[in-house]
Structure 1
Amino acid sequence: MTVDARTIAVYDAKAQDYADHFDSAGKPGAHLRRFMAALPTGGRVLDLGCGPANASRFMIEAGFDVMALDASAEMVRVAAELNGVDATLGTFDDLKEVAAFDGIWANFSLLHAPQVDLPRHLSAIARALRPGGVFHIGMKVGTGTARDGMDRRYTYVTAQGLADLLAVAGLNVTDTDTGHEVGLAGTDDPWVVMMAVNHA
């Protein structure tokens, strides 16, 4: 079981603050635009760890068939109230589909999974993607596991370490981006974003 109760408690308490902090001012960001451009018209997409479902809303508006999933009940509520997205309450362990999605969007969600569980979650993602399906992942850069000032648990990766994990899962990296951003906790943290294709 990958859910950390303390992390979920933070998101339940701060769901609206999170939605406000990452409000994308009415348009999808560059990473989401790149992801959508790689999908087939009207493709089926999973927003894995959707949070307030800002990305889901943009993808739905763009004509994609979107399933949104999050482990925070309050995030699921805010997704419906703020973005009109009917998200499902669930965890990474609930991903059981096989060859069901043209794309999976995991934007800074899998960083809350224990390090030991990342390989099996990525394998489940590869299984859930159709051949040629596209995967987007955002993670914070670093090593080990630690809690931030808000008590959220993070698993950190290096760019090479993440690329290696994706390769083992059967996902070929096609794009890599790095940068840094001030998050909800107020710290300016480095990140890595990768897009990969299922070569099954």
Structure 2
Amino acid sequence: MSDDETLKVYAEKAQEYADMVAAPDQPNSHLVAFVSALPHGGTVLDLGCGPGNSAGAMARAGLMVTATDPVPEMVALAAQHDGVDARVASFDDITGTDLYDGIWANFSLLHASRADMPRHLAALAQALKPGGQFHIGMKTGTGSKRDSIGRLYTYYTDAELTGLLGAVGLTVTDRTTGREKGLDGVEAPWICLAAHG
């Protein structure tokens, strides 16, 4: 993600965002399913980790977690979780082959431009071990726009996102849709897809 305005919003609101997503009443069912599909002690990338709540949960489950985010303020929060290797990195910094048993891209790639998405997904698919687990959460819709606090979003339909994953060799195995209120206070529709290499 190279959109400076989006990065600035997250830098300024890092603690507010961390407070908003802290300790939900119910465990994240997508995260539970993702973790249960991975080998104990497996390697995981949390892409766009934010304050690191998911990364921390994965580390507590016995996984080896690398958590990346382009916002240093978010990485500082993520690094406070035991067992999490938190690093400042953008989507463009993901390189390597057969590194991870799982990649968790939960509502992070929605800030990438549509033109860059195929390249980012190709790099992630290459970094995933054969048969590895992939999770992606996105807001659904069409086009791209900024929200009321300045973050740039790119929206996808289920069919479009499924096609993009298929194009890089990822097979979708499960999908969930819903609506939720975000940092901007607006309720928006979303989709989560589970896939494997």
Shared fold (TM-score, shorter chain, > 0.5): yes
For residues 23 and 104 of structure 2, the distance between their equivalents in structure 1, rounded to whole angstroms, comes to 16
For residues 57 and 26 of structure 1, the distance between their equivalents in structure 2, rounded to whole angstroms, comes to 16
Equivalent in the alignment of 1:128: 127
- Structure 2 matches for 1:114-125, cutoff 5 A? 114-125=113-124
- Structure 2 matches for 1:1-200, cutoff 5 A? 2-25=1-24, 28-81=27-80, 83-84=81-82, 85-198=84-197
For residues 164 and 185 of structure 1, the distance between their equivalents in structure 2, rounded to whole angstroms, comes to 29
For residues 71 and 149 of structure 1, the distance between their equivalents in structure 2, rounded to whole angstroms, comes to 21
Contact 2:49-2:68 within 8 A present in 1 as well: yes
Aligned length: 196
For residues 118 and 162 of structure 1, the distance between their equivalents in structure 2, rounded to whole angstroms, comes to 10
TM-score (norm 2): 0.96
Amino acid at match of 1:138: G
Unmatched runs of 5 consecutive residues or more in structure 2: none
C-alpha displacement of 1:97:
1.6
- SS state at 1:39 partner: coil
Paired-residue identity, %: 52
Unmatched runs of 5 consecutive residues or more in structure 1: none
Contact 1:28-1:55 within 8 A present in 2 as well: no
TM-score (norm 1): 0.95
For residues 139 and 16 of structure 2, the distance between their equivalents in structure 1, rounded to whole angstroms, comes to 20
- Deviation per CA, 1:23-65: give whole Å up to 9, x if none: 1348741010010011111110000000000000000000000
